[in-house]
Amino acid sequence: MAIELTSGMRLGEPAPEWTLPTIEGGQLSLHALRGQKTLLFFWGSW
């Protein structure tokens, strides 16, 4: 399986920090999920 990276990240490096709003009105950061198995699913339509 080949993976092509198009950003400045390298395979195996930690993901950059980010924060997203939750549907409850709070904030969720990647840092809060550290040590847990986390699946990021990005979806878009255009």
Model confidence at 17, in pLDDT bands (50, 70, 90)? Answer: confident
Mean pLDDT, rounded, for 6-15 = 74
- Rg of the chain, C-alpha, whole Å: 13
Tokens of 38: 């986390």
User: What is residue 13's three-state secondary structure?
Assistant: coil
Give the whole-angstrom CA distance, residue 18 versus residue 30: 6
Average pLDDT over the chain, rounded to an integer: 80
pLDDT given for residue 4 in this prediction: 60
pLDDT given for residue 30 in this prediction: 86
- The model carries a pTM of 0.49
Give the whole-angstrom CA distance, residue 22 versus residue 8: 28
On the question of pLDDT at 31 being above 80, the answer is: yes
